[in-house]
Amino acid sequence: MTTLTLAKALNAGLRQALADDPKVLLFGEDIGALGGVFRVTEGLQAEFGNNRVIDAPLAESGIVGTAIGLALRGYRPVVEIQFDGFVFPAFDQLVSQVSRLRFRTAGALSVPLVVRIPYGGGIGAIEHHGESPEAYFAHTPGLKVVTCASAADGYWMLQQAISSDDPVIFLEPKRRYQDKAEVDFSQFPAPLHSARLARPGTDATLLAYGPMVRTCLEAAAVAATEGHQLEVLDLRTLAPLDDAAIFASVRRTGRAIVVHEAAGTLGMGAEIAARIQAECFYELAAPTLRVTAYDLPYPPSKVEQSFLPDLDRVLDAVDRSMNW
């Protein structure tokens, strides 16, 4: 067991992937000598050289376009988008090209590409530095979308994504980069596209991913002092969703509350709620509720804490569900 921050665990995962496969390349703005804005790639260029850890021009469309060509030539490029809101110049490349190539060629071509995106708010940054764009990508057939919430998952899930022959959008909760947890380098990891039971419970299920997993665990700890045993399910995979784990948890508790930072309308919570209502209708003691950010552009940092879901809003939803 080694205690690492999420950022250090991701760094270790990239180092292992680079060491294991000479076809793995890292590509992005300031990822080389600087080690990235969040220092996730720190030291990797010095260790593996500037032909494998490559500082790219400030041009996200060009970065992803180049990575597509590299993937088609047999490499396994790992692209870093510096901040979540910067991915949109590359949106056409991702949804019009990357996601479609395997289907378009009837399986003759694959694009083993990972796009790392630090996402979410809570760091006091300016506009386009706190976006949660996961629903755009989860809505796009042909893209896999995953997000880690702990150091252990950061280490293992990133390596699994890199070894996948499908394009993977790998979302990293930037406000959790410095959260520490134990990583067991000898532990056989769970499958990439599977949810994780973060806390067992009996009274209601909190379904969360990325930055909101910690918030839900904190809410569950407070609820326990009031006599409510909340189950917390870390979804980990957004496309495809781990329906079996979601339904099993909700059937155990009879109540479901989905929590995410993205806006509510047509967000991941809407899809998850629809699936729960369709498959678990007779086991539900209350309707599925959602706790999300508001349907507004991301606000100035001075008011972001009022914009993002927090412990109080999660507990309020729990009370409404329990009293239905």
For 236-292, what is the HEC assignment? CEEECECHHHHHHHHHHHCCEEEEEEEECCCCHHHHHHHHHHHHCHHHCCCCCEEEE
φ/ψ of residue 27, rounded to 5: -145, 125
Angle of the 6-20 helix axis to the 151-163 helix axis, nearest 10? 30
Could you report how far apart the first and last alpha carbons of the chain are, in Å?
A: 44
Question: Peptide bond before 240: cis, by omega within 30 degrees of 0?
Answer: yes
Residue 128 annotated as catalytic: no
Q: Are 71 and 23 in contact (CB under 8 A)?
A: no
Q: Which of 128, 129, 139, 260 is catalytic?
A: 129
User: What three-state secondary structure class fits 233?
Assistant: strand
User: Minimal CA–CA distance to 63: which of 72, 73, 54?
Assistant: 54
Reported as half-sphere exposure (CB side, CA atoms, 13 A), residue 103 has a value of 11
Active site residues: 129
